[in-house]
Amino acid sequence: MGCGALGSVIGAHLARLPDVELYAYDVLAEHMRAIRERGLKISGVADFTVRLNATSEPSEIPPCDFGVFATKSIHTRAAIEQTAHVFGPSAAVCSVQNGLGNEEMIAERVRYVIRGATGLAVHMREPGHAGIEFYGDVWIGPFEPSGTPYSLVEELAVLMNRAGLHFVPLRDARGAQWTKLIFNSAANGVGALTGLHHGAAARFVPTAALYEALLQEGEVVARALDIVLTSDPRELVAEGARAPTKRYASMLVDVLAQHPTEVDFINGAIADHGEKLGVPVPLNRAVWQLLKGLEHSWSNPS
3-class SS of residue 107: helix
pLDDT of residue 8: 93
| Residue-by-residue pLDDT tens, the chain, 302 positions | 456 789 999 999 999 999 999 999 998 899 999 999 999 999 999 999 999 999 999 999 999 999 999 999 999 999 999 999 999 999 999 999 999 999 999 999 999 999 999 988 888 899 999 999 889 999 999 999 999 999 999 999 999 999 999 999 999 999 999 999 999 999 999 999 999 999 999 999 999 999 999 999 999 999 999 999 999 999 999 998 998 888 999 999 999 999 999 999 999 999 999 999 999 999 999 999 999 999 999 997 77
Helix spans in 57-197 (H): 76-83, 102-107, 150-162, 174-194
CATH class, domain 174-296, is: mainly alpha
pLDDT of residue 134: 87
> Could you tell me which residues come within 8 angstroms of residue 33 by beta carbon, excluding any fewer than 6 positions away?
54, 127
Burial 197-222 (b: 16+ CB within 10 A, else e): bbbbbbeeeebbebbeebbebbbbbb
pLDDT of residue 2: 55
Domain residue spans of the chain:
5-169, 174-296
pLDDT of residue 265: 98
pLDDT of residue 3: 60
Contact 106, 81 (CB under 8 A): no
1 CA to centre of own chain: 13
Contact 108, 134 (CB under 8 A): no
Architecture of the CATH domain 5-169: 3-Layer(aba) Sandwich (3.40)
Question: What does residue 164 show for φ and ψ, rounded to 5 degrees?
Answer: 100, 10
pLDDT of residue 219: 98
